Homo-oligomer: A and B are copies of this chain.
Amino acid sequence: MNVGTEWLVDAEGCSPELICRLETLRGLCDEVVRDLDLRVVGEPMWHQFPQPGGVTGLYLLTESHLACHTFPERGIATFNLYCCRPRPAFDWDERLRLLLCATRVSVRVAARASEEWNEQLSSAPEYSALPSIREVSSR
């Protein structure tokens, strides 16, 4: 009983200057929304923290949510896109390298409440660690 797909995207080696720019990040998230034809509910929340100036953005979507967090002190930007409606993959790799000067982009995909679980009969709570890198493939 799947209720959607979540993409966990982590970009490293980003330009600290670029990932402090709220307008750049907003433009990127708006591009994701537009390209994947997502529907935003209400106003997205954006917040810039004090020095070093990390930024957080949250979009409530009809399809679930989009989140962005940046850590300029580490050159890292992370994104979550949770869609309960089938959507094509966004080209995170190309866009984050171009817009944020990322040198490494990792995209992990998680099925939420996926069917496999129904095959498990145990009523015990189930815990699992998500590996950082598995089934690595290049395009």
A-to-B contact residues, CB < 8 Å: 1, 3, 6, 8, 10, 12, 41-42, 45, 47, 49, 56, 58, 60, 62, 64-65, 67, 69, 71, 74, 76, 78, 80, 82, 84, 92-93, 103-114, 116-117, 120, 122-139
Contacts and interface: CB of A to CB of B under 8 A. Distances in A.
Contact of A74 (B1, B41, B56, B132): B1
A113 B12 CA distance: 7
A122 B138 contact: yes
Nearest to A103: B123
Contacts of A82: 67, 69, 80
A136 B132 contact: no
B103 A10 contact: no
A138 B122 CA distance: 9
B76 A3 contact: yes
B45 A56 contact: no
A133 B117 contact: yes
A105 B64 CA distance: 20
A80 B47 CA distance: 19
A74 to B, nearest CB: 5
B139 A128 contact: no
